Amino acid sequence: ETWYCGSSWPCATSSSNILSSGTITGDVNYNWGGGLVLDSGRRDYVVVKLTGQFTMPGTAGELYTVRFRNQDDDGSRTIINGTTVIEDWSGLHGASNRDGSIQLIGGQTYSYERLQSEWTGGSVLRQYWKVEGYHTNYVFMNGISDF
């Protein structure tokens, strides 16, 4: 889902002025540069909101440390099962990494909410994760295999 956020900063985290909605079908790996953000029809002053659910990989019932990494230009927020894991909503910057971690249980299903705001200039939205003991490095979250 995308929406126009007007000239106020930081952008609102919800809106009744939805520009577009759809489904992510590949890696959460977007670099629009100065081009149109997703299918919003806008280059600037736009918010992208991704929502879904994922089932934790690994051994059912085992506790894992899960590291999330947002790479965004400009602001970002990641919320897992109602817990804010990464908060950089008022950020005005080029593509930058923001990291956070949470303890999750293998085999359980969790809600996922990801926001990215673009003020002006380039626009990037990338979501990585690393499940300790399961992934050796950060990997992109994927709209098909992870949600």
Structural contact between residues 48 and 103, judged by C-beta atoms closer than 8 angstroms: no
For residue 97, the SS3 value is strand
For residue 14, give the nearest of 117, 135, 111 by alpha carbon.
Answer: 117
pLDDT truncated to tens, each residue of the chain (147 aa)?
Answer: 888 888 777 787 777 678 888 888 889 999 999 999 988 898 998 999 999 999 999 999 999 999 999 999 989 999 999 999 999 987 788 899 999 999 999 999 999 999 999 988 899 999 999 999 999 999 999 988 787
**Structural domains in the chain?**
2-140 (2.60.120.1560)
Which residues lie closer than 8 Å to 16 by C-beta, 6 or more apart?
none
